[in-house]
């Protein structure tokens, strides 16, 4: 089976890559115990050095890697550069804090001495998506490697060049056997999940994929971390700074052409200021310019795949058919590549795909409400629970509502984003487990209780 790399801005094939044959995959899997043992034996200082070197490589070759990301999945080159820099920062974060995070934790007990030791599990399979082809991998790999695990990467099939580059970075950083790229099929992935040498699985993807992976891993009693889809609420209250809210709404919804799990997707706006907010939001959307994502004047990138664009369009059309008002957009752009017009839907309500489902593309859905309690109810009326934000000039009010949002991360007057310093993850159909910060490195360790008493 060949894996194709296609430029979303042109629709043209770039290159094809062979997938692993069954014998090649078996040989790699048989080498896991030795590789895992060797990496786990490396002192924390060596692991930290590897992470710092990876950060150096990322910055030294930032333009090259950003170009690769843009050509393979379509995002703006400026956004790709930011993604590469963020990967360098997460490496430095765990290199700096890893030894503290993994230090023995002393506990009081009836022993002379007792503590929790944090030991690596072994091999972690990372099943990663295409939308942030470097960042999604690094936010899993950096803590996993620092903790002494080895990482097996099963990347999305439309970013094979990124996958190869990631393996090269870690090899050049000094841990050639601790990070391995596996260009394999779905069927082969199921084999890897079930292999006894693989001890845990981390998946970022759809809730459909999450259920499948969790089922397969659960049958083998293997730990999983699932970061799945989201339909984040962006609540704008009557006392919000509307200029600021509209500016951040534009960035949150249309960054990466709207293809982000933590993008704001449902804009829940109080009636009293709904028209004023909509006017500002619409003005910002109207300024977006589609074009070559390599060019600095382009502000709207193509979608990553043609099938994703078609799925999004059907969701938009079905929402309009069920009563949503089309303010702007709602169609393919007549140019080469997989561009979709930036779209704004108003008066979205229950029963519409724009209300019930995740719209993974450049479409903003506005839901009008009477007051904050209705806003909160609608925000939580979702099977997803990844992130959400509240916009108000009353900070106490904002915190009170943020605490009541049913999600994994709630922001007040700020863009919902992932940050190495903050735990990241969701609830409900957005998955379970946490990445980043202290919880991120603790997901894939054996927290071993050690109890010692003299005789």
Return the active site residues: 227, 261
CB within 8 Å of 347: residues ≥ 6 apart: 323, 324, 325, 366, 367, 368
Is residue 144 classed as helix, strand or coil in its secondary structure? helix
Left (φ > 0), alpha (ψ -120 to 50) or beta: where does 185 sit? beta
Q: Answer for the pair 32, 24: CB distance below 8 angstroms, yes or no.
A: no
> Phi and psi at residue 270, in whole multiples of 5°?
-65, 135
Q: Answer for the pair 382, 265: CB distance below 8 angstroms, yes or no.
A: no
Sheet holding 325-328: strands in order across?
325-328, 343-346, 363-369, 264-270, 232-236, 387-391, 409-412
Q: What share of the chain is helix, strand, coil (3-state, %, to 5)?
A: 45, 25, 35
Number of neighbours of residue 276 by Cβ within 10 angstroms: 15
Number of neighbours of residue 186 by Cβ within 10 angstroms: 11
CA distance linking residue 409 with residue 416, whole number of Å:
8
Q: Answer for the pair 330, 103: CB distance below 8 angstroms, yes or no.
A: no
Q: Answer for the pair 279, 246: CB distance below 8 angstroms, yes or no.
A: no
DSSP secondary structure letter of residue 424? B
């Amino acid at each position: 089976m060949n894996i194709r790399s296609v430029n979303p801005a042109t629709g043209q094939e770039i290159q094809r890559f062979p997938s692993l044959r069954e014998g090649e995959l078996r040989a790699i899997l048989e080498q896991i115990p030795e590789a895992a043992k060797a990496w786990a034996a490396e002192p924390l200082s060596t692991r930290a050095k590897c992470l710092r070197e990876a950060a150096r490589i990322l910055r030294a070759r930032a333009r090259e890697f950003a170009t690769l990301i843009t050509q393979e999945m379509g995002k703006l080159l400026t956004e790709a550069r930011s993604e590469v820099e963020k990967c360098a920062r997460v490496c430095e974060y765990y290199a700096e804090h890893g030894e503290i995070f993994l230090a023995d934790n002393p506990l009081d007990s009836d022993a002379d001495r007792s503590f929790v030791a944090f030991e690596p599990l072994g091999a972690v399979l990372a099943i990663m998506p295409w939308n942030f082809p470097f960042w999604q991998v690094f936010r899993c790999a950096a803590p996993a490697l620092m903790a002494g695990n080895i990482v097996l990467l099963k990347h999305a099939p439309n970013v094979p060049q990124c996958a190869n580059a990631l393996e090269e970075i870690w090899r050049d950083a000094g841990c050639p056997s601790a990070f391995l790229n596996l260009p394999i099929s779905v069927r082969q992935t199921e084999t890897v999940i079930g292999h006894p040498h693989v001890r845990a699985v981390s998946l970022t993807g759809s809730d459909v994929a999450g259920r499948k992976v969790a089922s397969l891993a659960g049958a083998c009693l293997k730990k999983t971390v699932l970061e799945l889809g989201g339909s984040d609420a962006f609540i704008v209250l009557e006392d919000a700074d509307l200029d600021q809210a509209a500016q951040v709404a534009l960035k949150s919804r249309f960054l990466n052409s709207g293809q982000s799990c933590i993008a704001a997707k449902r804009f829940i706006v109080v009636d009293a200021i709904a028209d004023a907010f909509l006017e500002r939001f619409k003005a910002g959307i109207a300024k977006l310019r589609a074009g070559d994502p390599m060019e600095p004047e382009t502000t709207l990138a193509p979608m990553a795949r043609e099938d994703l664009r078609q799925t999004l369009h059907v969701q938009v059309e079905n929402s309009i058919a069920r009563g949503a008002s089309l303010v702007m957009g709602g169609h393919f752009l007549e140019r080469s590549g997989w561009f979709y017009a930036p779209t704004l839907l108003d008066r979205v309500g229950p029963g519409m795909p724009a209300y019930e489902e995740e719209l993974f593309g450049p479409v903003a859905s506005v839901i009008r409400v009477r007051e904050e309690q209705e806003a909160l109810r609608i925000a939580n009326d979702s099977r997803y629970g990844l992130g959400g934000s509240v916009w108000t000039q009353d900070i106490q009010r904002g915190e009170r509502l943020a605490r009541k949002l049913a999600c994994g991360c709630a922001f007040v007057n700020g863009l919902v984003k992932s940050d190495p310093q903050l735990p990241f993850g969701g609830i409900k159909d957005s998955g379970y487990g946490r990445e980043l910060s202290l919880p991120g490195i603790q997901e894939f360790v054996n927290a071993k209780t050690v109890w010692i008493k003299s005789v």
